[in-house]
Structure 1
Amino acid sequence: MTPVTLISSKPAPQPEDGPPVLFDRRLLARRRDRAASEFTAYDFLHARAADDLLDRVESVSRDFETCLVLGGGGAVGRALKDRPKAQQKITHLIETDLSPRMAGLSEQTAVCLDEEQLPIAPESVDLVLACLNLHWTNDLVGALIQINHALKPDGFFAGAILGGSTLTELRQCLKSVDDADPAPRRVSPFADTVDMAGLLSRSGFALPVSDVDRVKARYGNSFVLMRDLRAMGETNALIERPRTPATKSFFVKTAQAYSERFAEEDGKVPATFEIIHFAGWAPHPDQPKPKRPGSAKVRLADALGVTEHKSGDIAG
């Protein structure tokens, strides 16, 4: 087995001049610990993301000695059991999580570590998969850079995070409810639908790509939705979250607003989840290079079979 050196499993210290610290990572670890006991009954999003990540692995025409999985509560390992083609491509799978109990859900080799200070030796793994965990990092680009450093040259990385349209219905209803506490801070913010390919490029990855998977789940009411979010370990971990519990009336009003604004014909309410997928390669000299501007030997108009019009001409 390719050696993977664990340096530390403690949460990373935050630099004074670094990016804003939005999330309480220690609280996040505790809430994921709490969610672990029921997680596999509510991990439909993680299972979906894990299947998509393995699709990407299967599409690559090479094998991987060591695969490091960040997050997912064991979802990638569980999905791998039903994917013989992916199994053939991965020799050793190591699943990790910020939460010790969530890491313990893995049926593979499991490690508790902090992805904000990735304790993996440089150029020590062939494949890294991040399953719905990096949206909780305070410095996404910093985490991507560390992943890049952990990969061997020409190593492959594929990840999935929750994007900005996630829970848009719940956010709108929370914001509309008049309460003494600031409603918008009751749901952790997700990144807007950012150019993940651009972020990968900034982080040193080659050949970056990204796409979006939008999922609509349906619930009896918003109380059931919030129960599921707790069971997933996806509840508010903002540093500036309200410190006093919301009143019962606050949640009743939210449920009423949700039903009034979004209920479908059968009375159930939808919840949108946006999963942003992205992938890239650790640089290697033999990788394809983009052509320099002006080096094309075939005109685009000829390739498309259309008539080229000069600037200022009006096509008839």
Structure 2
Amino acid sequence: MTQATTPRPQLFDRSAIAAHRNRLTPEALFLHDIARDEIEDRLSMVNKTFNRPALVAPFAEGWESCLPHAKHVADDDTLDLEVGSHDLVVHAMSLHWANDPVGQLIQCHRALTEDGLLLVLMLGGQTLNELRSALATAETQLSGGLSPRVAPMGEVRDLGALLQRAGFALPVADVVPLTAKYRDLLHLMQELRGMGETNALAQRQKGATPRRLFNKAEEIYRETYATDDSLLPATFELICLTGWSPSENQQKPLRPGSAKARLADALKVPETPLPK
């Protein structure tokens, strides 16, 4: 007798994400422009030509110059990628909305040929930390409780470990920190709406948010973070993940203890023993 399986709870509401992306405004997509420049710069430093690229992204507009002839793949839970069909997969500005980020990376891994490259650009854990703190403090003061209002995002160390879990070789994770400034909280919220990056948590409150909460949040935001010119800074942390599909021709890390020279000799300094 086959037992029914309980559906896995979803962190994000994919229908809400799709609705938010329908309201995109081109002038608000500066993060996507920066992500594209980062990808282009990193590809220029790789001594390899890629002939079968794929782009996993909310939309393909703007990527033509960076990834001409790339197959555009929507960032659905199941990616439209054929096994072993690409030598490069770029996953751009959408992994932070994935209900199963490891599953997304595994799908990308399977789509790569041997010695194929994965490049991921996504928002990281420090993104909107000022807004998150101001909203949490305001809601606690006004109602004595908290609602999920800003999506949780991965820290760079944890995201780098996901590459290893997904089977990638030579995994690297690094951060591109950015700060934008806004006139007020409404200005910031309008730009987030134009990016399609507003709250799409499955457990979010569906009703209208009381205006007094935003007024209190702006007061706290301004008292805590405002710049000397009375603007509100907002952190956007871009995380870049790089991994390669394993190949026998790739460099391999040395076994511990296999070094043939001492670091102290190379640096020409006396060796200091560790304290017992």
Measure, in 1, the Cα distance between the counterparts of 2:275 and 2:151: 49
SS of corresponding position for 1:41: helix
- Quote how far apart the aligned CAs of 1:72 are: 5.2
Measure, in 1, the Cα distance between the counterparts of 2:124 and 2:62: 20
Matched with 2:128 is 167
- Counterpart AA for 1:48: I
Matched with 1:70 is 56
- CA shift digits 1:209-239 (9 cap, x unpaired): 1111110000000110000001100011111
- CA shift digits 1:279-309 (9 cap, x unpaired): 0101112111111122111111111221112
Paired residues of 2:74 and 2:80 also in contact (CA < 8 A): no
TM-score calculated relative to the size of structure 1: 0.80
TM-score calculated relative to the size of structure 2: 0.91
- 1:285 lines up with 2:274 in the alignment: no
Measure, in 2, the Cα distance between the counterparts of 1:175 and 1:21: 23
- 1:22 lines up with 2:11 in the alignment: yes
Matched with 2:114 is 153
1:93 to 35, 60, 70: 70
Matched with 2:20 is 31
> What's the C-alpha RMSD, in Å, of the aligned pairs?
2.0
Paired residues of 1:51 and 1:79 also in contact (CA < 8 A): no
SS of corresponding position for 1:258: helix
Measure, in 2, the Cα distance between the counterparts of 1:34 and 1:24: 16
Matched with 1:7 is none
- Quote how far apart the aligned CAs of 1:272 are: 0.6
Unaligned residue ranges in structure 2 (runs of 5+)? none
- Quote how far apart the aligned CAs of 1:180 are: 4.2
Matched with 1:52 is 38
- 1:272 lines up with 2:235 in the alignment: yes
2:90 to 111, 129, 143: 129
Measure, in 1, the Cα distance between the counterparts of 2:82 and 2:6: 25
Matched with 1:3 is none
Matched with 2:186 is 223
Paired residues of 1:64 and 1:91 also in contact (CA < 8 A): no
CA separation of 1:289 and 1:244: change in aligned 2, threshold 3 A: same
Identity of aligned residues (%): 40
**Greater RCO, CA 8 A, separation 6+:** 2
Measure, in 1, the Cα distance between the counterparts of 2:126 and 2:74: 25
- CA shift digits 1:101-124 (9 cap, x unpaired): xxxxxxxxxxxxx1x211211000
Measure, in 1, the Cα distance between the counterparts of 2:40 and 2:249: 25
Matched residue count: 270
**1:113-262 correspondence runs (5 A):** 114=76, 116-177=77-138, 178-180=141-143, 182-262=145-225
Unaligned residue ranges in structure 1 (runs of 5+)? 1-14, 81-89, 99-113
CA separation of 1:291 and 1:75: change in aligned 2, threshold 3 A: farther
